[in-house]
Amino acid sequence: LLKFVSDLSQRVDSVKEESLKLRSENQVLGQYIQNLMASSSVFQSSNTGGKQ
């Protein structure tokens, strides 16, 4: 039982680390997409309520 709890605890720590890594990557990608949208005339014109 103790080994099971220890293994489970290690798995939880591993999943937490992976989650933090993915959140960080998502923030980087989100900023990249925002920068692309800000520099693209296609997205700037859609902000005025025009056709998509």
DSSP string, 16-39: HHHHHHHHHHHHHHHHHHHHHHHH
Please indicate, yes or no, if residue 28 is contained in any of the structural domains.
Answer: yes
pTM for this one?
0.63
Please indicate, yes or no, if residue 50 is contained in any of the structural domains.
Answer: no
Q: How many domains does the chain have?
A: 1
Please indicate, yes or no, if residue 31 is contained in any of the structural domains.
Answer: yes
* Dist. CA 1–CA 20, nearest whole Å: 29
18-45 residue pLDDT tens: 999 999 999 999 999 999 999 988 777 6
Please indicate, yes or no, if residue 52 is contained in any of the structural domains.
Answer: no
Q: Which residue range is the domain that position 33 belongs to?
A: 1-45
